[in-house]
Structure 1
Amino acid sequence: MTEQAPRSTGGQPAGGNRILVVLLVPLFMSLMSVSVVNVALPAIETGLHASSADLQWVLAGYALAFGVVLVAAGRAGDLWGRKPLFIAGILLFTAGSLASGLAVDPLMLNLARVLTGLGSGVLNPQIIGIIQNVFHGRARGRAYGLFGTVVGLGVAIGPTLGGVIIGALGPEWGWRTTFLVNVPFGILGAVLTALWLHPPQRDRASGDRRSLADLDPVGAVLLAAAVVGLMIPFILPGTWLLLVPAVVLLVLWWLWEARMRVRMPQTRRAPMVDPSLFRIPSFSYSTVATAFLLGAMPGLWAVQAIVTQQGLGLSALAAGLTSLPTAVAVMVLSPWIGNHVHRRGPLFVMLGALLAIAAVVLGMVAFHQIATGSWPYWTLAVCLFPFGPAQALLMTSTQVLTMHEVPLHAAGAAGGVSQTAQRVMTAIGLAAVTGSFYASLAASGAGGDHSGAAASAGSPVAVAYGQAADAALLVVIGLLAVTLLAGVLDYVRRYRGGTLVLED
């Protein structure tokens, strides 16, 4: 089933701007909900008398639910139409946000966060599938450019927005409002989707009526269990043994999908994820590039926020504002990059990865100089600023390249696979980066000092935090190096094949 829209010029459907509004506003809300909570955790701890384990699940419950349902939700959209799944995802997300904001105890909050994560996991792959179906050529590049803009803004502006809300409304209503602000936008988004997004029409080539068995429930359960097993060890300490059954389940899932593929002529049922999808080089290379970028990015900003507040004794708002210039760069540059990605996309990936690595190296220098009192704090924002253009180059280009050769009938499942890889690598990268930071901090003997009272530029505490930040950023550089390698391999492949210019 596909969403159809009358085509205008340049691959832009009639009403394309309205379609982008209804797609990208929920995307922004779902991504902002990941980063805004980091600033709200201290207020949640006080307001609900939450333990450290409770706070951990505020983050983990959302991330797990988000990652587990992505592929199955994308496949369901391919089968039964993306509009109803998209609306259902928005409503689940909105209900979870409302329950989170009204939570009376940690258990209610964590259950509500799981519901919110399920909504995000249902709606997100539909966005990619709809863009892939209704936009073409330059218009698709522009749409993915705006997609990259929203991803960058959602991740980067969340801490700033959370700091402003809590500062304006106070701790109690501040943390609740960081969730409740999603409710009116969610309701409006569901209504506008119903009005503006063209209704799904049955794909005549797909033939008969779909049943639940066409979703491949065995494959869905195996993959969901494997994803949980892969993510939990990087979220909850002491659960590393789960990696063993997770790998076994992943192998079983692959064998099952391959079996489904072989038997498809007899059963007339396709696997949830066609294994041949991974034989599409552009999909595989770009999925790896994006996943490792999103493994590096959250850890970078988490370390920056920790050093700013605990190492230098500055406010949460100061920590949030440091990432604001990079968010502005993403917002300004992504549409332009989207308009040119069809000609320079493979080159943009390499340039973006190199620029990101350069920004992190500058950040390491800045952390050291600021911690010792040699540079003022604002220089950190200047040194990290190139990460904004790098993110715009990478997110926009890899999104187009990931889906460029994927058949339309598999767009939802492919988008789910790509985003699942992103969620898993986000958990792994965040654990690796922050783990390296805290290990270095503990080795320096400053690991127990989190009061901030003695923390200021030039103090022993600040110096120790600066050194720990440098150790963590080496891990960030390692993750970005994989993104660069994937980009180089894809560029060389295309250069040899003469396919640097993308044709729709």
Structure 2
Amino acid sequence: MAGFITLLDVSIVNVALPAIRDGLGASAGAIQWVVAGYALSFGLLLVPAGRVGDARGRRLLFMTGLALFAVASALCGLAQSPAWLVAARFGQGLAGGIVTPQVSALIQQLFRGAERGRAFGMFSAVIGVSTAVGPVLGGGIITLFGAEHGWRWIFFVNLPVCLVALVLARRLLPGPEDVARPCARDLDPLGVVLLGAGVGLLLLPLVQERQWPGAAKWLLVPLAAAVLVLFVHWERRHVRRAQPLIDLRLFRLRSYTLGSLLMLAYFAGFTSIFFVFTLYLQSGLGYSALMAGLAVTPFALGSALASVVSGRLVARYGRALVVGALVVVALGLSLVVVAVAFVPGRGVGWAVAGPLLMAGLGGGSVIAPNQTLTLAAVPPAQGGSAAGVLQTGQRIGSAAGIAATGSVFFSRLSATGDDWASAFRFSLGVSVAFVLAALLVALADLRTRRQDAQTPTDGRSRRGELDRSVRDE
């Protein structure tokens, strides 16, 4: 329930964006922050929240995060201004970042052997269902409660789910045993602040591109780079005294580095598609929220179906499976661009259904297989940290992709005099570029793995060197 509701809020909001814009008089930048802010703040707390849950009890963190998520959802639904809603979405993302690591950790704690595999399989199915149901559920809620206030109920619907989950968590989840209590230094609060500030400064000029005239805003980009360099320097120092937010030694493994970059680029590409697509369908073509939700469902259904099958194929085909899947995603999205160009008007929803299904089938064979391959060479002692870093990169990639794609979409819309189809095609081209970047990374990793297979001693020595460094620390 908790995993479903936190991930549902990634996809359910997209179909409500036009209603939010009209209801609150929100600017293009505020609309982008409603989506990107949730993804960014969600990612920042994944690693430290997982560490606190391990140390102070996962049930406590699970229930705390769920209660905060309910409060933030209520604040979102009660928002009276764009700034209020954006701030509440940031809070909602932080709460989701507290809950999510406890879900995976509790599955590992409560299940063993084949049962654990089935439990993680169920959780993967929940992820797929939440992605598929989100747009349709959001459209249905807005249709039921009306365009003026219906968007508020997509947040209020979280409250009963959170309440039931809290009661069940108190009764069913194991309480804390003998656990250590980490000090603030062990949680690396400065690392969290530096990473959040660096990424936030990088996104600001993209999101506010139309709202802030002139070129001065781009000075924030080198400032962001300086903050991120400071973050890297701090993490290298902090690892000598305590557990850092991101253990940079992980990136000595080429497979982990390339897999992380692949996820960053892929999430920047595929999560930004629905942000601009629902705006195009509703504001540009006059689709209802429900019809817009149904139009994007083929991608989610294809992704959910392929994610179940791809987990059984990754052991056989390895990185080649991910390469082929990314080719299918890029081809499917390119066909969407062609469909929009040749089928203007309200018939575009039917025209893009096949290409979106194709892209979804490819997308479902990217995420889980890549995570399996990326973490395979990581020493067990660093498995939790490595998975947390990987998920953090996914959320930052989502925020960056939404910022970049939205910037192109609204700039093109302004330049062409409300040519929604042209704006959508150009912004979708940005998404395709991110997917192609992920494909290049996947090809580089495939080549590296084949070279290592020809010289296995080198691969073992690299992993052995990392293992030794971990033991020494």
TM class, shorter-chain normalised? Answer: 0.7 to 0.9
Give the superposition deviation at 1:385: 1.0
Give the superposition deviation at 1:218: 3.1
Matching of residue 431 in structure 1 with residue 407 in structure 2: no
Give the superposition deviation at 1:295: 0.6
Give the superposition deviation at 1:354: 0.8
What's the TM-score, normalizing by structure 2?
Answer: 0.83
CA contact (8 A) 2:135 2:297 kept: no
Cα 1:103–1:255 shift into 2, 3 Å: closer
Match of 2:89 among 108, 113, 123: 113
Partner in structure 1 of residue 333 of structure 2: 360
Distance (whole Å) between structure 2 residues aligned to residue 44 and residue 87 of structure 1: 29
Partner in structure 1 of residue 270 of structure 2: 297
Match of 1:217 among 189, 197, 209: 189
What's the TM-score, normalizing by structure 1?
Answer: 0.78
CA contact (8 A) 2:34 2:89 kept: yes
Partner in structure 1 of residue 255 of structure 2: 282
Cα 1:336–1:94 shift into 2, 3 Å: same
Cα 1:435–1:344 shift into 2, 3 Å: same
Partner in structure 1 of residue 426 of structure 2: 471
Q: Which moved more, 1:294-303 or 1:402-411?
A: 402-411
Distance (whole Å) between structure 2 residues aligned to residue 270 and residue 302 of structure 1: 36
Match of 1:342 among 315, 329, 332: 315
Cα 1:430–1:104 shift into 2, 3 Å: closer
Partner in structure 1 of residue 373 of structure 2: 401
CA deviation map 1:52-99 (0-9, x unaligned) = 666555445434432333333233334444443233222211221123
SS of structure 2 residue aligned to 1:271: coil
Cα 1:322–1:171 shift into 2, 3 Å: closer
Matching of residue 176 in structure 1 with residue 131 in structure 2: no
CA contact (8 A) 2:26 2:82 kept: yes
Matching of residue 391 in structure 1 with residue 363 in structure 2: yes
Give the superposition deviation at 1:324: 1.1
SS of structure 1 residue aligned to 2:365: helix
CA contact (8 A) 1:91 1:186 kept: yes
Matching of residue 241 in structure 1 with residue 219 in structure 2: yes
SS of structure 1 residue aligned to 2:286: coil
CA contact (8 A) 2:36 2:400 kept: no
Cα 1:112–1:60 shift into 2, 3 Å: same
Cα 1:182–1:209 shift into 2, 3 Å: closer
Q: Name the amino acid aligned to 1:165.
A: I
Q: Which moved more, 1:348-357 or 1:73-82?
A: 73-82
SS of structure 2 residue aligned to 1:371: coil
- Percent identical: 38
Partner in structure 1 of residue 139 of structure 2: 163
SS of structure 1 residue aligned to 2:245: coil
Give the superposition deviation at 1:369: 1.4
Distance (whole Å) between structure 2 residues aligned to residue 38 and residue 404 of structure 1: 34
Partner in structure 2 of residue 318 of structure 1: 291
CA contact (8 A) 1:69 1:224 kept: no
Give the superposition deviation at 1:247: 1.5
Matching of residue 482 in structure 1 with residue 437 in structure 2: yes
CA contact (8 A) 2:24 2:80 kept: yes
Q: Which moved more, 1:330-339 or 1:46-55?
A: 46-55
Work out the number of aligned pairs and report it.
449
Match of 2:38 among 43, 48, 62: 62
Q: Name the amino acid aligned to 1:402.
A: T
Distance (whole Å) between structure 2 residues aligned to residue 406 and residue 140 of structure 1: 20
Partner in structure 2 of residue 185 of structure 1: 161
Q: Which moved more, 1:106-115 or 1:426-435?
A: 106-115
Alignment of 1:2-41 (within 5 A): 25-41=1-17
Q: Name the amino acid aligned to 1:247.
A: A
CA deviation map 1:341-396 (0-9, x unaligned) = 333342321121011011012112211111189x7641211122111111110122
CA contact (8 A) 1:231 1:424 kept: no
Cα 1:168–1:350 shift into 2, 3 Å: same
SS of structure 2 residue aligned to 1:210: coil
CA deviation map 1:184-233 (0-9, x unaligned) = 21222233344444456568xxxx75322222333333223223223333
Cα 1:142–1:281 shift into 2, 3 Å: farther
Cα 1:376–1:412 shift into 2, 3 Å: closer
Q: Which moved more, 1:417-426 or 1:303-312?
A: 303-312
Alignment of 1:130-169 (within 5 A): 130=106, 146-169=122-145
CA contact (8 A) 1:230 1:243 kept: yes
Alignment of 1:26-105 (within 5 A): 26-45=2-21, 47=23, 55=31, 57-103=33-79
Matching of residue 253 in structure 1 with residue 231 in structure 2: yes
Distance (whole Å) between structure 2 residues aligned to residue 376 and residue 277 of structure 1: 45
Cα 1:309–1:110 shift into 2, 3 Å: closer
CA contact (8 A) 1:357 1:477 kept: yes
Distance (whole Å) between structure 2 residues aligned to residue 372 and residue 48 of structure 1: 28
Partner in structure 2 of residue 421 of structure 1: 393
Partner in structure 1 of residue 246 of structure 2: 273
CA deviation map 1:96-131 (0-9, x unaligned) = 112322445555544432321210121223344455
CA contact (8 A) 1:148 1:330 kept: no
Partner in structure 2 of residue 380 of structure 1: 352
CA contact (8 A) 1:133 1:408 kept: no
Q: Name the amino acid aligned to 1:489.
A: A
Cα 1:318–1:259 shift into 2, 3 Å: same
Distance (whole Å) between structure 2 residues aligned to residue 494 and residue 201 of structure 1: 42
Distance (whole Å) between structure 1 residues aligned to residue 321 and residue 118 of structure 2: 15
Partner in structure 1 of residue 451 of structure 2: 496
Cα 1:182–1:88 shift into 2, 3 Å: same
Give the superposition deviation at 1:154: 3.5
Give 5+ residue unaligned stretches, structure 1: 1-24, 450-463
Give the superposition deviation at 1:166: 1.0
Distance (whole Å) between structure 1 residues aligned to residue 115 and residue 449 of structure 2: 22
Cα 1:220–1:311 shift into 2, 3 Å: closer
Cα 1:82–1:276 shift into 2, 3 Å: farther
Distance (whole Å) between structure 1 residues aligned to residue 89 and residue 427 of structure 2: 29
